[in-house]
Chains A and B, each alone.
Chain A
Amino acid sequence: MTITNHPLPEAAFTELAEGGGSPATMRRLGGAQRSKHLMLLHAIAEAAVGSEAGPTAFRAGYEHLARIQDTAPGAATWLLDLPHLGGWVHDTLIHLDQGTAADFGHFACLVSAAAIRAGLPADLDVPVQDGRVRLPGLGSLQVTSEKAWVRLRSDGERVTVGDEFVAGARLMRPDDGTGMGVPGWSGTPAIRAAGGGLAWTVLLETGDPYLDRYTLPMRAAMPAVEVTDWRERVRSAWQIVAGGHRSTAEPMADVISVIVPLTPRSGTDLVSATTPAAYGAIATSWPPDEVTLAETLVHEFHHVKLCGLLDMVPLASSGEQHVYAPWRQDPRPASGLLQGVYAHLGIARFWQAQQHAETDADGLLRAQVLFARWRPAIGETAQTLLETGSLTPAGVRFAERLRAQGQQLMATPVPAEAAQLAAEVALDHRLTWRLRHVAAEPAGVAALAEAYRRGEPCPGEAPTWVQEDVRKVDSGLRSRLLNLRYLEPARYQALCGDGVLPLSEADRLLLGRSSEAAVQAYRTQIADSADPQPDAWIGLALALHQLPPSPPRAALAAWLVQMTEVHARLADGTDPLDLASWFA
């Protein structure tokens, strides 16, 4: 018996690189994921030896899966597509590689779930956890036995645990909120959404430990009222995605089968995530509104697509070099940058289309600014990616396509007010990042300072390099307010109106668009202080950005790191605008 690797036509690769992914292309990625899971199951099977309960249960499950593949291939496909299986397979392999205890027996739960769902016979020993037998993708079953293992049997219709009848197989289903309860059975919450004639069914997974694998903990044991809230929000978001973002909605409905709700660190931050270990699952904390959830779904779906492609075709090495990403606070390696720029292509297109769907002024402004914010980031970041030298030949082709898509987005007109707001927050983000993470060579800084003191022309630039957290910048509140202007204009007005925010006078002037006065206030703050004032330097650059183009404005945007270092070295109260003019 010989095998070949999954083929991927160049056209499908190009389609994905351009941010697309037709149902046919997604079926290719899905097929490769099933093969990946089979391949990794085989690796686990080779390690599942011995007479202990776990490996024994695994082997029984493995044999049963072979029978299911033979008699009901659709049921095997369901199992191999299950993100829960992906999570377990990866954790098990990691345990095996690290020599720690692997949960072999859980595989019997997975196979039992596939059999029960398809109305097939099953007869397997399965582990009991906290008084329940988990049936991933379906729910969990309460058992009275206090044993660590129970025998789960089904004749295709009736399910028994030990000698005790527990439920009809057809009733052991996810809970879509419409059915009658079954004693002892807890169905995984399911959400049935419809919009624009397109249906989507997705599980809200709050109990599977193998999907509790993101940066924040899963929101487990969710009260019924919260489940209802999630159902309503997901349905509303789906109407937006299916109604206005059809080319994304169609493959998403086929691929995304699980949402993992996350417990956020704060009530105001939205955290979302994906992992290649659970293809088909998206994790997110509670979104503040349906449009934000729609954006998050599109964003994370792009990560899922790219995870699927990366499993098939390596595009980037992790690389040593870390660089700027316009959406992150920290320096990123090429592999992270690739994921980010791809997701933001989806986000930029989302807001491009959303401009035509918003009906109120605030919603329209948000869509316009976010489109204007992210579209230049695509081409610029794809170019950065290409310059890292960390891409494979296929990765280079992929990034070139991405860059071209970014360039195309730049052809769409954007209203001036939105463009200005977007440019301001982009500049704030970039300068904040540079002051935090870019170091300047001391000798080069000293040479610049000496040339300035002597009244000589600026001799050039001091060498710089990326170094994480080289300076502390504490302008988070101002940055949040700059973004709040278009994300929540009413809240922004209320916060600024009550005057209780701990902002400097210069920051108040900047936010109030008293730009000339803000420039003067920042100049004074910087010149009068014996300490470096990175927040004020960024503020000065932002205030100048609100004014017509000038040489100091351009110099601050380009050379802020060197400028602040030279100013600190001079330590003589030099006017920052004089220094900026000298750099220009």
Chain B
Amino acid sequence: MPSQEKDIETVIPDLHDIPVDRLAELGSSALAHSIALYRERLRENGVPLSSFQARI
């Protein structure tokens, strides 16, 4: 019997169908929460950089 595939909960709101000029209509919603979370990560960690140096 095929198992029903479950989805993993992510922290990025799906905005692909929403024009930018209507984003404001979302008000203090999940969008505002996601933005706050992302900015908090930026403030705490900056933008992480994966940097590799090979000695050759």
Contact = CB atoms under 8 A, between A and B. Distances in A.
Given A3-B26, A3-B31, A43-B39, A10 B7 contact: yes
Given A9-B5, A66-B21, A94-B42, A43 B48 contact: no
A52 B23 CA distance: 23
Contact of A8 (B7, B31, B39): B7
B42 A93 contact: yes
A97 B43 contact: yes
Contacts of A62: 20-21
B1 interface: no
Interface residues of B, number: 43
Given A1-B18, A36-B38, A45-B20, A271 B12 contact: no
Interface stretch (A153-161, A310-318, A376-384, A431-439): A310-318
Interface residues of A, number: 71
Interface stretch (A131-139, A186-194, A274-282, A558-566): A274-282
A69 B49 contact: no
A38 B26 contact: no
A38 B48 contact: no
Nearest to A483: B55
A10 B7 CA distance: 5
B35 A4 contact: no
Q: What DSSP secondary structure best describes chain A's contact surface?
A: helix
B47 A276 contact: yes
B42 A10 contact: no
A479 to B, nearest CB: 8
Contact of A275 (B20, B49, B55): B49
Nearest to A38: B15
B10 A312 contact: yes
B39 A93 contact: yes
Contacts of B56: 268-270, 288, 292, 487-488
B42 A97 contact: yes
Interface in A3-34: 3-11, 13, 31-32, 34
A299 B11 CA distance: 26
B7 A7 contact: yes
B14 to A, nearest CB: 5
A273 B49 contact: yes
B52 A8 contact: no
A42 B52 contact: no
Interface in B9-56: 9-16, 18-26, 29-31, 34-35, 38-39, 42-56
A35 interface: yes
A272 interface: yes
Contact of B52 (A6, A311, A343): A343
A554 interface: no
A66 B50 contact: no
Contacts of A149: none
Contact of B48 (A1, A9, A275, A479): A275
B19 A69 contact: yes
Contact of B8 (A69, A90, A97, A313): A313
A229 interface: no
Contacts of A7: 7-8, 10, 14
A394 B8 contact: yes
- Residue of B18, B45, B55 with highest tally of chain A CB at under 10 A: B55
A214 interface: yes
Nearest to B13: A3
A63 interface: yes
A303 B13 CA distance: 22
Nearest to A487: B56
Contacts of A2: 29
Contacts of B50: 273-275, 300, 303, 307, 336, 339-340, 343
Contacts of B45: 318
Interface of A: 1-11, 13, 31-32, 34-36, 38-43, 45-46, 62-63, 65-66, 69-70, 90, 93-94, 97, 213-215, 268-277, 288, 292, 299-300, 303, 307, 311-314, 318, 327, 335-336, 339-340, 343, 394, 479-480, 483, 487-488
Q: 7 closest A-B pairs (Cβ-Cβ)? A: A66-B21, A312-B10, A7-B7, A273-B51, A42-B23, A35-B15, A303-B50
Interface of B: 5-16, 18-26, 29-31, 34-35, 38-39, 42-56
Given A39-B35, A214-B51, A269-B53, 15 more contacts: A3-B30, A6-B10, A9-B5, A9-B6, A36-B12, A38-B20, A97-B39, A97-B42, A269-B55, A272-B52, A292-B56, A307-B50, A314-B11, A343-B50, A488-B56
26 contacts: A3-B31, A5-B12, A10-B6, A10-B8, A32-B14, A36-B38, A38-B20, A39-B35, A40-B38, A42-B23, A69-B20, A70-B19, A90-B42, A97-B39, A269-B56, A272-B52, A273-B51, A274-B50, A277-B47, A303-B50, A313-B8, A336-B48, A336-B50, A339-B50, A394-B8, A480-B55
